[in-house]
Chain A
Amino acid sequence: MIRSVIAFFLFAVVVCAAIIFRSDNGTGPPVAGQPAASPAPAPQAATPAAPTTEVTRAEVASMVLPAASSRIAVPGQIQAEPTIRTDTHLSMEDMTNNVLAELGLLPESASTLPQQATARAATATVLRGLNAATGGQSAVQERVDLQSLVVDALKAGQDDATIDQLVNAAAIGGQVAVPEVLVTADGRVDTSVLLANIITQAKVAAGQTAPPTRPDSITDARGVEVRLVQAAQGATEARFYTVQRGDSLGAIAIKFYGNVNQYPRIFEANRQTLSSPDRIRIGQRLVIPDL
């Protein structure tokens, strides 16, 4: 009787440990002694917080099965977790506008953002005043961010493949944050969407073409699914898309809507599948709502 109880108990602990270490977290088992009630940290980047309610079970697991936790296989994980840092405040529109402004391709009236040089000079002046008042020594720091990386590469005339390498090296190395919509299903940055958007907006700013519209036909039909749904008013089309290798939410938005800024439609329609725009996975089946 006692033995079967202990056996069931150990089984429950093993299952709990499996659940804990199945979650996509690079850090080790939680430190024993942590109170279970602390709220999860604010959502930041690609790595989600370990569920803190599991702490007490993990405590038990680490006490009873100290070595087993590291040997437990992680079921359900098909591909590597993306290590790219995203910034929810960084929108494609703002970034594209900034890049175009720095390249001098935006008409002056359209740009309400200060030119990089003016912002830098204004900040330097303010810092001088603050240093005089506080006795501090602050200076303007040169920061590497995605925007400056892309601008420098474009000014240097780098080709797309080189830009892709540069951006991905910086993003995967954690040096820059990227807009969520550019993260692909295999954990890279979709620079083709980024560059295509810059080119499109540059043309729009120059007045050469109208803003992008929904494409009449989809050139690449892989993963696309169209179903006829019978409704009271008649049959309507419902479209679904299975995420392919190399897809980012931005690329999918362009594929179906012609415009990367329409990605919220897809995101909102698939909230159950996508916890955030950068968390798309190969094989996910997304609903593509009509415009």
Chain B
Amino acid sequence: MLGERHMMRVVGLASVIWAAIFANQALAQDVRITEHQANATVSVNGQTITISRIQDHGHRLTGDFARTSRACPPACVQPMIAARGVATAGELEVLGFLKGPVSLSRGLLIDARMPDDFSRGSLPAAVNVPTATVAPENPYRADILRALGAVEGDRGDLDFTNALDLMLFSNGPWDPAATLMVQHLRESGYPADKINFYRAGLQGWLSLGLSVSAVQNQG
């Protein structure tokens, strides 16, 4: 008789403590983005997007983004500086870019990968502009540059004064797509101070547990 009641109390107490710990973990959200910022909320094109980190301490990267070694070339280690005058960014800068220029419609977060990769998920609010489409070999690249804000003069030269600010990224620091795109843009005359290079790419973003956009079909 005494044993039963005692047992029930112990079990009850244990459940309460367990629930408290569990609830504490869920409510506390101890995996924040910065000390002062648990999530980032950005408003892009009328849509509100919340970016947070995965809270599960045991979470691991699996699949392709967990790999360390790919054949180089083409998957060689990319430089920290993509081109002279082009700023290299980290995750906090990307979030700041989304909150700033992108929200104000003065900038674009650009995924430089091929459409197949993009459709499997990308950074939130990213637009897909594959590197090959701004390469000199694309006879229609001027149309894309104009969509990015360049204005064509009489003799076919481009004026980039009102062009959008760009933040470029690709798969990771082993993927040359974003670095190459920086070079193509510079070669076309795009101002260096309007280009930003998020070197860590999707792999870096995922390795911090940050939210990605859903699988989508754009266009």
Interface residues of A (CB under 8 A from B): 44-45, 85, 89, 98, 112-114, 116, 119-120, 122-123, 125-136, 138-141, 143, 145, 147, 177
B157's nearest neighbour on chain A, judged by CB, is A44
Q: Which residues of B contact A125 (CB under 8 A)?
A: 115, 219
Chain A CB within 8 A of B147 CB? yes
Q: Which residues of B contact A129 (CB under 8 A)?
A: 127-129, 218-219
A-contact 0/1 string along B126-138, CB 8 Å cutoff: 0111101100111
Evaluate contact between B143 and A123: CB separation under 8 angstroms: yes
A-B pairs with lowest CB-CB distance, top 7:
A128-B219, A138-B147, A123-B140, A130-B147, A133-B127, A129-B127, A129-B218
Evaluate contact between B143 and A139: CB separation under 8 angstroms: yes
Q: Which residues of B contact A135 (CB under 8 A)?
A: 45, 105
Evaluate contact between B143 and A138: CB separation under 8 angstroms: yes
Evaluate contact between A134 and B143: CB separation under 8 angstroms: no
Chain A CB within 8 A of B178 CB? no
Chain A CB within 8 A of B210 CB? no
Evaluate contact between A134 and B105: CB separation under 8 angstroms: yes
CB of A136 to closest CB in B, whole Å: 6
B 115-171 contacts with A by CB, 8 A: 115, 125, 127-130, 132-133, 136-144, 146-148, 155-156, 164
B146's nearest neighbour on chain A, judged by CB, is A138
Evaluate contact between B139 and A122: CB separation under 8 angstroms: no
Evaluate contact between B138 and A114: CB separation under 8 angstroms: yes
Q: Which residues of B contact A44 (CB under 8 A)?
A: 155
Evaluate contact between A123 and B141: CB separation under 8 angstroms: yes
Evaluate contact between A130 and B139: CB separation under 8 angstroms: no
Evaluate contact between B45 and A127: CB separation under 8 angstroms: no
- 9 A–B pairs (Cβ distance < 8 Å), ordered by A: A89-B136, A114-B132, A125-B219, A126-B133, A127-B144, A130-B129, A131-B147, A132-B45, A132-B218
Chain A CB within 8 A of B108 CB? yes
Q: Which residues of A contact B143 (CB under 8 A)?
A: 123, 127, 138-141
Q: Which residues of A contact B132 (CB under 8 A)?
A: 114, 122
A-contact 0/1 string along B31-62, CB 8 Å cutoff: 00000000000000100000000000000000
CB of A53 to closest CB in B, whole Å: 24
Tell me what chain B mostly uses at the interface: helix, strand, loop, or mixed: loop
Cα-based distance from A143 to B148 in the complex (angstroms):
19
Cα-based distance from A141 to B139 in the complex (angstroms):
10
Known contacts A123-B140, A126-B147, A143-B140; 20 additional CB pairs below 8 A are A85-B155, A112-B137, A113-B137, A114-B132, A119-B138, A122-B133, A123-B133, A123-B143, A125-B115, A126-B128, A129-B127, A132-B127, A133-B127, A135-B45, A136-B147, A139-B143, A141-B140, A141-B142, A141-B143, A147-B139
B 40-89 contacts with A by CB, 8 A: 45
B 8-25 contacts with A by CB, 8 A: none
A145's nearest neighbour on chain B, judged by CB, is B139
Cα-based distance from A119 to B133 in the complex (angstroms):
7
When A129-B128, A135-B105 are in contact, do A123 and B138 touch as well, CB less than 8 Å? yes
Evaluate contact between A123 and B218: CB separation under 8 angstroms: no
A94's nearest neighbour on chain B, judged by CB, is B137
Evaluate contact between B139 and A116: CB separation under 8 angstroms: yes
A-contact 0/1 string along B80-115, CB 8 Å cutoff: 000000000000000000000000010010000001
CB of A181 to closest CB in B, whole Å: 19
Evaluate contact between A122 and B45: CB separation under 8 angstroms: no
Q: Which residues of B contact A119 (CB under 8 A)?
A: 133, 137-140
Evaluate contact between A126 and B139: CB separation under 8 angstroms: no
Task: Indicate the member of A98, A126, A139, A140 with the most B CB atoms within 10 Å.
Answer: A126
Evaluate contact between B137 and A114: CB separation under 8 angstroms: yes
Evaluate contact between A127 and B130: CB separation under 8 angstroms: no
Cα-based distance from A122 to B156 in the complex (angstroms):
22
Cα-based distance from A254 to B219 in the complex (angstroms):
48
Task: Indicate the member of B45, B108, B144 with the most A CB atoms within 10 Å.
Answer: B144
Cα-based distance from A275 to B19 in the complex (angstroms):
84
Q: Which residues of A contact B127 (CB under 8 A)?
A: 129-130, 132-133
